[in-house]
Amino acid sequence: MNSFAYFAPTSITDALKHFADSPGDTVFLAGGTDLITAMKQNLITPRRVISLRRIPELQGIRVASDQVRIGAATSLAELRKNPTITQYFPGLIQGIEGIGSPQMLNLGTLGGELCQWPRCWYFRNGFGLFGQWNGKHLVKEGDNRYHAVFGNDGPAAYVHPSRLAPVLMTMDAVLRTVSPKGETREISLMQFYRIPTQEGEPLTVLAPGELVTEVVLPLRERRNALYEVKHRSGLDWPYVSAAVAFDLEGGACTRSRVVLGHVAPIPWDVPEAAAVLDGKAVTNETAEEVAAVAVRGAKPLSGNGYKIPMLRAAVKRAVRLAAGLNPLEG
């Protein structure tokens, strides 16, 4: 790892000032569970690292009558034990518990979890976001068993690593940010991620130095669940996941959302599948129909076609789980 200067400010203002002093080679450090690894792998070589751990404004969970505000530097462990999160956002708890590592839960932060680098092994071994070498697309021509089945028409075929983004998207999460100039804005998580088409393009809509300060969630009764398919318990990323959320009116689903995880370079929203659920009660037949629509349009690569039946099962089980039914029955 290259040497770097380390700063630990105690306010957002000071953090942004340190960034503005040297914007081209400065990064923000939250829990460090991803950034430090990337620095060790020389994927990123900043000369200045600004820690966010001592900034009270970025910490904690604030509950109001109509919304929950979660500081971006709040640990996943703190989210897991919060009674409001447990009551209203079971899908979020399911995603956190799926991580399985106490160390990751205690160090990892919500903002960092949403802003991870891809876990693609080509990228992590220095072949860039698109896995290019000597004119070859290593992902599409080589081992691609864990890569994208949606959104892979262009050069990007990695999968987005966030476990929590899909369920937060179904719950209408909004990110609040601040720029080095002190300008603030709100960004729907649905509009936060982008698929790059050239090396060096950003993976989110954040401007250089723009800092995510908190995640805001509407506080209302809304059924939600996350179902992951993994090959083992403990610290590992899923093969696929499915997040489902809906309101219930007279026993019928409304405002339904279906978002897929670990199958595309961004969390993959499937409004067509959600439309199938709207206006219907959750039955095994309805869950099957939603799952069938959710996998339409998938374009598996040479080695990851197995993801399609897994994904279909994950969607069906997430629908049942959100409705309070046993996901494994039916």
- CA 193/CA 117 separation, integer angstroms: 12
Q: For residue 220, which amino acid is it?
A: R
CATH class for the region spanning 59-115+160-322: alpha beta
Q: Tell me whether the CATH fold assigned to 1-57 matches the one assigned to 59-115+160-322.
A: no
Please write down the HEC assignment for all residues of 228-282: EECCCCCCCCCCEEEEEEEEEECCEEEEEEEEEECCCCCCEECHHHHHHHCCCCC
DSSP 116: P
Return the domain boundaries, the chain.
1-57, 59-115+160-322
What pLDDT is attached to residue 235? 65
Q: Find the DSSP H helices in 33-188.
A: 35-40, 76-81, 83-88, 90-99, 102-107, 110-114, 121-124, 138-141, 165-170
Taking the C-alpha atoms of residue 128 and residue 267, their distance in angstroms, rounded to an integer, is: 20
Q: Does residue 12 contact residue 111 with C-beta atoms inside 8 Å?
A: no
**pLDDT for position 234:** 60
What does pLDDT average to in each consecutive run of 10 residues of the chain (330 residues)?
A: 92 93 88 91 92 96 97 97 98 93 92 95 94 93 97 97 98 97 96 96 95 97 96 79 97 97 98 98 97 98 98 98 92
Dist CA 235 CA 82 (whole Å): 22
Q: How far apart are CA 34 and CA 259, in angstroms?
A: 24
Q: What's the CATH number of domain 1-57, 3.30.43.10, 3.40.50.300, 3.40.640.10, 3.30.70.100?
A: 3.30.43.10
Q: Which two tokens stand for residue 273?
A: 């599948």
Is residue 223 classed as helix, strand or coil in its secondary structure?
strand
**Closest by alpha carbon to 242, among 261, 265, 270, 223?**
261
Pairing status of strand 26-29 against strand 48-51: parallel
Output the CA torsion sign for 174, 176, 177, 182.
positive
Q: Which residue has the tokens 């839960």?
A: 105
In the prediction, which pLDDT does 233 show? 65
Contact 31, 112 (CB under 8 A): yes
**Burial environment of residue 251 by CB neighbours within 10 A (0 to 12, 13 to 18, 19 or more):** exposed
- In 10 A of CB 322, how many CB atoms? 30
Which residue, 28, 113, 15, is CA-closest to 56?
Answer: 15
Q: For residues 46 and 232, what is the distance between their CA atoms, to the nearest angstrom?
A: 35
